[in-house]
Chains A and B, each alone.
Chain A
Amino acid sequence: GAVVSQHPSWVICKSGTSVKIECRSLDFQATTMFWYRQFPKQSLMLMATSNEGSKATYEQGVEKDKFLINHASLTLSTLTVTSAHPEDSSFYICSAPGTSINEQFFGPGTRLTVL
C-alpha cells in the first residue's frame, strides 16, 4: 500500500518556540491531507484538512493562527505549532486518502513534548 511519512518522529522544545512537522506521501500524490491530534489515552481528533494550493480548513475550536498548515506541493503538507506551550504536547498524526473511498493512509505520528 501507499506510504505516508512524518518528520520528525519526536521532538522536544521549549515553551514559546515554534515546531514544524512534515507529512509526506512517498509514492503517490495527495491533494488533501488531514492532521489529527491525540492526547494520551484519548482518540484521534481531527484538527484540519490541508488542501494543496489553497487554505486549510480547520475544525471548530482549532486556532488557525496557532496551528499553521501549508500544503505547498502534491506530496508535502506541513503543520507548524507556533509559540508552543506544554498543553500542546501531544501525538500529531497526518493521513492522506487513497483512490478508493475506504483508503486512508496514516503517517507514523510525531510525538511533541513542550517543556
Chain B
Amino acid sequence: GQNIDQPTEMTATEGAIVQINCTYQTSGFNGLFWYQQHAGEAPTFLSYNVLDGLEEKGRFSSFLSRSKGYSYLLLKELQMKDSASYLCAVGTGANNLFFGTGTRLTVIP
C-alpha cells in the first residue's frame, strides 16, 4: 500500500522561511514531487527529486532522503501569495502519482 504523511496545517510570517516535511512508504518509487494548489484550482508543479539531496529553484528548495523515506519543501522569503496547500506526491512505476494529505500553509503579515 501507499502511505504519505504531511502536517495538516502550518502558519508562517511573511518574509520568513518555512519547511514542510513529508514521509512516505510506498510500494514503488519513481521520484518525489511537490505541488502547490490554491483552493478550487488544479495543482501546479514545484519540484521533483529522484536522487538524494537538495534541489534548489529560486525561493523553493526540495530535499530527498530515499533511505529514510523523507522529503521536505523549503520556502524562503515567504510572500502572502504563498498561502496555499502544498502536496507531496510519490511517483510509482506506473507513471501515476500518489498524493500525501497536503499541508495548508497560511502566511501572515
Contact = CB atoms under 8 A, between A and B. Distances in A.
Interface in A73-115: 91, 93, 95, 97, 101-102, 104, 106-109, 111
Interface stretch (B13-21, B41-49, B63-71, B72-80): B41-49
Contacts, number: 53
Nearest to A36: B99
Interface residues of B, number: 25
- Place the interface of chain A in its size category: 20 to 34
B99 A102 contact: no
Given A101-B91, A102-B48, A108-B42, A43 B102 contact: yes
B91 A106 contact: no
A72 interface: no
Contacts of B33: 102, 104
Interface of B: 30-31, 33, 40-45, 48, 50, 85, 87, 89, 91, 94-102, 104
